[in-house]
Amino acid sequence: MTNSRPTLSEDLISKVLAIKPSYLTNTGFINYLIELGYQTRLQQQKNMQDYIHNKPKELTRNIEQQKEELKEKNKKEKQEEKVIPEDLNEYRSLIIDYWKGKKGAKTKQAWKMQITEFRKFITKYGKAVLKDQLEAAILDGTWKSIKVINYEQYYLKNNKFINPEPNAHPNVKVFKASDANLPPTLAELKLQNADKFMANKNGL
């Protein structure tokens, strides 16, 4: 092994000798410190290379993991939004087809509000009407919602063959012109004429 004599700062040599153990020679201790510094520097470089090499991969894994977690979260939320109550289970396929093709909002709140409207239809007009409305919405493909108020305003109003009777409270008395000794209304005249026609037809 070839030896060399590099020039060292006297101030540095003084600092080194101040911490040198008494059982080591000056040359031996200086060589030891140089070797220690060299090995330390190599380890630092290795750590830096590992960091540079592995950090992008770690970041990529974290990003992909976050994407998967967000995807699962959105999927779970959508599944929760589309939970069909048991009382509407017989319309499951129609409701799913309608919701898949409907326009407008498809949020969790919109789903809850639509379920409420479905129940209103059954309560007020029966199951058949709800089924008809779902099928009409699916065929049209442009409905944003199925609402009782829209059904009443547009469908019932423009269909002269349908005359739904509201569900009156048992304690509410339906006023008739005959009850107040007034001339019969047009509706009452039509009803009377219909009764006379049926009586004549049946020979009564």
Examine the pLDDT at 155 and tell me if it is beyond 90: no
Phi (first) and psi of residue 140, to 5 degrees:
-70, -45
Query: Does one domain contain both 158 and 200?
Result: no
Does this model's pTM top 0.75? My answer is no
Instruction: Determine contact, residues 156/164, Cβ cutoff 8 Å.
Output: yes
- Band (pLDDT 50/70/90 cuts) for residue 48 is confident
Cβ contacts of residue 32 below 8 Å, gap of 6+?
Answer: 24
What average pLDDT does the chain have? Answer: 77
Mean pLDDT of 158-179: 50
Examine the pLDDT at 168 and tell me if it is beyond 50: no
Q: What is the pLDDT of residue 200?
A: 47
Closest CA to 97 of 129, 152, 155, 140: 140
Higher pLDDT, 188 or 39: 39
Q: How many domains does the chain have?
A: 3
Higher pLDDT, 38 or 102: 102
Query: Does one domain contain both 39 and 95?
Result: no
Query: Does one domain contain both 135 and 63?
Result: no
**Of the residues 28, 54, 79, the one at which a domain ends:** 79
Mean pLDDT of 39-43: 87
- C-alpha–C-alpha distance, residues 71 and 68, integer Å: 5
Examine the pLDDT at 159 and tell me if it is beyond 80: no
| pLDDT winner (highest mean) among 49-53, 159-163, 183-187 | 49-53
Query: Does one domain contain both 93 and 28?
Result: no
- C-alpha–C-alpha distance, residues 41 and 47, integer Å: 10
Q: What is the pLDDT of residue 157?
A: 72
Domain that holds residue 187: 171-204
